[in-house]
A = this chain, B = another copy of it.
Amino acid sequence: MGKKITIYDLAKILKVSPGTVSRSLNDHPSISQKTKARVVAKANELGYKTNKFAANLSKQKTNTIGVIVPRLNSNFMSTMLAGIEKVVNEAGYNLIISQSLESMEKEKLNAKTLFNNSVDALLVSLAYDTSSYDHFTPFIHHEIPLLFLDRVHNLPNSATLIIDNKLAGYEATEHLIDQGCKNLLYVGGSQRRNVYSDRFKGFKNALANYNLEFDESNILESDLNPTSIGEAINHIKRSTKQIDGIFVANDTFAAHLIKNLIREGHKIPEDIKIIGFNNDPVSELVTPSLSTIDYSGYEMGILAGQSVISHLNGNINFKSANTITLRHQLIIRESTQKQ
């Protein structure tokens, strides 16, 4: 039940000043080893705990890092968060996590809240429909480290952590072409988000490079929600040229697509080859197993945590436009197998 003991209590007991107690506990250099030892010993003995409120108030620092993600319940995001959490926790920081639910309005609110909560840094993966970025300027103005992850936007004095989506998109598409596909379809999310527009650019480049013609029927913009599978199926059915290869910018949607195409009587990979993106656990489990682009959310999280921490420790900083690009890898499974 221990009534809270404060540095004042310690000071009185040890017959020193509160300031000395404070400095001792914080291992300040101007305190003698002897005194430090005494203070620390007594503090432990009495179970002293620093009152974060007070410490925060005078230091104006919360030891808290804010995160905004589109949603918590996606494999990629939760894995990334797991990585972030691990690193920042080891460094003594807490994570305040909030989700935008893919809405810019909610994202704005989240940003405001986190700002008001004085997070020491902010990590963001942008919502589906975010089109303005003013809600991040308070962070920049107050020099609060701002790091975008995966779904990024280039703002001055902020850093971004991504993979080379364009290249990955190119490689995925090239793989389909290698396997003999001629009429390709790209299914991705909002072109406003770098992850989708870049993958699409890669897709388009690959088509051009292999002299495959491209028109608007070769791209489908979707919210990638499983409930929207119907639209995708319709698009494929309606297409005048028979589609024989699909690059889906998201494994979960790709898995649903496989399931539904098979239900519709298509053979995969014989009639249509499909490649996804993310190497979500589901890609191994679906039948046929799904070829995909692997990149580790966990690693991205770890790296994000590390950069932010080292920024906070003053080792590096985000002043100079700072982009970290992670590696990715093509994973070939059954869904793109040549006959």
Distance, CA A113 to CA B95, complexed state (A): 12
> How many copies altogether?
2
Out of B73, B96, B281, which one reaches A282, CB within 8 Å?
Answer: B281
* Chain B CB within 8 A of A34 CB: no
Q: Which residues of chain A from 4 to 55 have any CB-CB distance to chain B below 8 Å in the complex?
A: 49-54
Of all chain B residues, which has the CB nearest A49?
B116
Residues of B within 8 A of A281 (CB): 226, 252, 282
By size class, the interface of chain A is: 35 or more
Known: A72-B85, A73-B81, A82-B73. A57 touches B53 (CB 8 A): yes
Of all chain B residues, which has the CB nearest A99?
B85
Contact A78 B85 (CB under 8 A): no
Residues of B within 8 A of A51 (CB): 57
Among the listed stretches A157-165, A196-204, A283-291, A307-315, which one makes contact with chain B, having 4 or more residues with CB under 8 Å of it?
A: A283-291
Given contacts A72-B72, A73-B82, A81-B97, 17 further A-B contacts (CB under 8 A): A52-B118, A53-B60, A53-B62, A57-B57, A72-B78, A72-B81, A72-B82, A73-B78, A73-B297, A86-B99, A94-B96, A95-B98, A96-B97, A255-B285, A259-B287, A285-B285, A285-B286
Interface residues of A (CB under 8 A from B): 1, 49-54, 56-57, 60, 62, 64, 71-75, 77-79, 81-82, 85-86, 89, 94-99, 101, 110, 113, 116-118, 141-142, 226, 252, 255-256, 259, 281-282, 284-287, 297-298
